[in-house]
């Protein structure tokens, strides 16, 4: 392998590092200095986290240019899909449960009667 190749790879690492550091600092400042209201800040830092995840996967993990049949890339994508199912599925079920369990007895009875009228 030529030397140029290593220079390029080192550059990739530097770009990844600078990108990740910038995104981390941006997230920190947005929380520390209250740039937005609470909901917007929450969405903002989550978007930054996904961006930083992408930057690190692209520049640090060597998934680019993987030869076919690309086992790593596909298992990675599949795992992320399953991860989202587990996380958002759990949240969905548990918030629903909380909502129903959080009612007073009377409210619950009324709610159940209403649901009963709708049928299944």
Choose between 7 and 107: whose C-beta lies nearer to other proteins. 7
The span from the CA of 79 to the CA of 71, in Å, is 12
Residues making up the chain, counted from first to last: 120
Number of residues that bind other proteins (CB under 8 A): 41
Q: Does 99 bind other proteins (CB under 8 A)?
A: no
Contact range with other proteins by CB under 8 A, out of 31-39, 99-107, 108-116: 31-39
Do the Cβ atoms of 95 and 108 come closer than 8 Å?
Answer: no
* Assigned token pair, 104: 């007073």
Q: How far is CA 97 from CA 41, 84, 90, 103, 120, in A?
A: 27, 19, 10, 10, 19
Q: Point out which residues bind other proteins (CB under 8 A).
A: 1, 6, 9-10, 13, 16-17, 20-21, 24, 27-28, 31-32, 38, 41-42, 45-46, 48-49, 52-53, 56-57, 60-61, 71-72, 75-76, 78-80, 82-83, 86-87, 90-91, 94
């Amino acid at each position: 392998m030529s030397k140029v190749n290593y220079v390029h790879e080192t550059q990739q690492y530097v770009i990844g590092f600078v990108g990740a550091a910038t995104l981390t600092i941006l997230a920190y400042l947005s929380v520390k200095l209250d740039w937005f209201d609470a909901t917007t800040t929450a969405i903002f830092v989550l978007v930054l986290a996904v961006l930083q995840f992408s930057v690190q996967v692209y520049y640090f993990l060597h998934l680019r240019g993987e030869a076919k049949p690309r086992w790593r890339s596909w298992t990675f994508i599949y795992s992320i899909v399953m991860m989202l199912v587990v996380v958002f599925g759990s949240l969905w079920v548990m918030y629903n449960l909380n909502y129903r369990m959080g009612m007073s007895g009377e409210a619950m009875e009324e709610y159940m009667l209403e649901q009963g009228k709708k049928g299944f």
